[in-house]
Structure 1
């Protein structure tokens, strides 16, 4: 028996994560009995003594909600966080912000968040694939942590999520261009297949096929350093009179390149984006965009998570908020 044993020793010997050991010590009721008994047995065998002062502080903590984002530079993230914070303030919840970028291992990052002993989690990332959603669900369910996806879509009926109808939005913005006699319309999307973007593409393709037009999906990156070179060669071999970016930033980058190649917007081609961020308002000409109510998505997600944390009855865990098209100069050939 060694009084120098650490939580790492316990986790290794019991074959569990640090987060699980922490929960056995602080919230044992949230751990399955079989796992809890195994961890307690190892603790006894190793003579592990947790830091009593740290545990005392943990027991007096306020309700803490973890907000997970992928990229703090996204224009929509700040507004969504504002909606979350406003509702959280009413309940006197504290918010911990976590960043999980594309370069991080998702499972490891989630286990680190679980170890922070958050009471609930909001996941703000519209660039998740369905398999990623499953990983998040499995880890938080295993650790009995309520979670809600904000601005994320999943086919899984058991996954709580708040978003808009992205397929319908993709259909409507495409139809707007078709109704103004545009035929060679491109969907500018990401190379990686995200569930939300796939819905936008599905709506676009549906509108094009209904009109007897051929869909054109062009895959690039949301990073302007990467997509600008793609757009530099875009006009060499393509006939285009309309373009829809899955992000405002992609659409604006495309439009700037089009103008540099002598195209007049909206005379020669229409351009539109998604999210209705500051990029759409600041571009010249000002850009038409699907207005996604990201503040409301954040606030609604926080309300839903609050009900789940307080174990209140929840009638619907998939909430779809209304969207609208904000039409500006890039689709107004008057």
Structure 2
């Protein structure tokens, strides 16, 4: 096997310096066309492939950025899987199931993270970067994200996914962009959506449908990065309508459809509120499941709304009123902001807020 060509071989073949070869490969528009063409011809003839590791050492860059989430799946509920067992062929190639309900493996509740990841992947690819994804479920000490920090040029982390003190330590090693959640006395770059304003508008719509009677509010986990902003918008609209927030019934789920179903079943047993506003779509869909099974008519008996704008919300019965946040664009924006920070490390911290859409559908329209 012949020796792999080096940058020195390319420079000799093109009769230029190795610095010129480097400029052609990194910023071709900065080199005269005839010189650029000569270098690229030499690269093609020799089959030269730039060394990413060598370039990274020279530039102190890896070309890799990280995206850290607290977890994707309900890991504790996933059954064992061994595709190498036996001859690799299943005993039965398929199974027929009649009357199947929604999946309970936790996947559907993570569509937000799936879409953000897809957006981050697209933007990283567009910028010639490699995206490293870390999943920290069951990692309270954030050891996974610390390990990632030693392998990447910068990190995107979901707000509240790691402790604040750990985040500050990470930011001393690599640039950090915080995804979702407001800035709270820190100097990181932030990317979020207009949670407060959208939830306030949605609450005003619900109050108009209920004749001013206060809805029940279904909150998610207390550490939800967007939960505080959505609750703030709800409170502002309730107060502006002359109602007391103290009189609002607040229930709590874990952002899964199953938890929303349990809440809905409990409300059927205790008595229905005029409306139920959920802080995410999955819980609202679970509530609709429970109400439909109990013969509760939505929106005639009770108005139901969600937040996120996942595709399943448009396909529910009735279609779910919700707020569509730009999940894919969130991932793209986070990588854009991180790329800016890598080129301008001394720039002032940036806060980017993306617009959302309030989608009024049948689950809240009593005029139909």
TM-score (norm 2): 0.68
The answer to whether 1:249 aligns with 2:300 is no
Please report how far the alpha carbon of residue 86 of structure 1 lies from its aligned counterpart in structure 2 after TM superposition: 2.2
How far apart, in 1, do the equivalents of 2:357 and 2:258 lie?
30
- The equivalences for 1:86-101 within 5 A come to 86-101=122-137
Aligned-residue offset at 1:157: 4.5
Q: Distance in 1 between matches of 2:345 and 2:188?
A: 17
Match in the other structure for 1:135? 165
Q: Take 1:138 and 1:280, find their aligned partners in 2: how far apart are those partners? A: 37
Aligned partner of 2:155 among 100, 121, 139:
121
Aligned-residue offset at 1:241: 1.6
For each residue in 1:39-90, what CA deviation from the matched residue of structure 2 results, as whole angstroms up to 9, or x when unmatched? xxxxxxxxxxxxxxxx879748840011112333311222222222222122
Structure 2 unaligned residues grouped into runs of 5+: 1-52, 73-106
SS in structure 2 at match of 1:274: coil
Secondary structure, aligned partner of 1:212: coil
The match for 2:101 is: none
Paired residues of 1:182 and 1:242 also in contact (CA < 8 A): no
Answering whether residue 177 of structure 2 is matched by residue 148 of structure 1, we say yes
- With 309-318 and 164-173 compared, the bigger mean Cα shift is at 309-318
Give me the whole-angstrom Cα distance separating, in 1, the residues matched to 2:365 and 2:262: 28
Which residue of the partner structure matches residue 66 of structure 1? 66
State the 1:270 CA deviation: 1.4
Using the alignment, how far apart are the partners of 1:316 and 1:194 within structure 2? Answer: 23
- Kindly indicate whether the alpha-carbon contact (under 8 Å) linking 2:325 and 2:356 is maintained by their aligned counterparts in 1: yes
Corresponding residue for 1:165? 194
CA contact (8 A) 2:261 2:288 kept: no
| 1:179 and 2:208 are equivalent in the alignment | yes
Say whether residues 1:281 and 2:311 are aligned partners: no
- How far the C-alpha of 1:112 sits from its partner, in A, is 2.1
Matched, 1:234 2:264: no
Give the Å deviation of 1:249.
Answer: 0.3
**1:107 matched to 2:142:** yes
Q: Is the 8 A contact 1:110 1:139 kept in 2?
A: no
Q: In the alignment, is the contact (CA less than 8 A) between 2:187 and 2:349 conserved in 1?
A: no
Secondary structure, aligned partner of 2:139: coil
Pairing 1:325–2:358 present? yes
What is the distance in 2 between the residues matched to 1:178 and 1:267? 14
Query: Does 2:346 align with 1:310?
Result: no
Taking the aligned partners of 1:302 and 1:193, their CA distance within structure 2 comes to: 24
**Whole-Å Cα distance in 1 between the matches of residues 171 and 62 of structure 2?**
22
Contact 1:100–1:106 under 8 Å retained in 2: no
Query: Normalising to structure 1: TM-score of the pair?
Result: 0.74
Unaligned runs of 5+ in 1: 1-54
Task: Tell me, in whole angstroms, the C-alpha distance in 2 between the residues paired with 1:314 and 1:77.
Answer: 28
Deviations 1:287-327 (A, max 9, x none): 11111111222111111100111226646511111112011
Query: What SS is found at the alignment partner of 2:132?
Result: strand
Deviations 1:178-208 (A, max 9, x none): 1222514111112434342022112112211
Q: Please, which moves more after superposition, 134-143 or 286-295?
A: 134-143
Structure showing greater radius of gyration is 2
**1:196-215 alignment runs, 5 A limit:** 196-213=226-243, 214-215=247-248
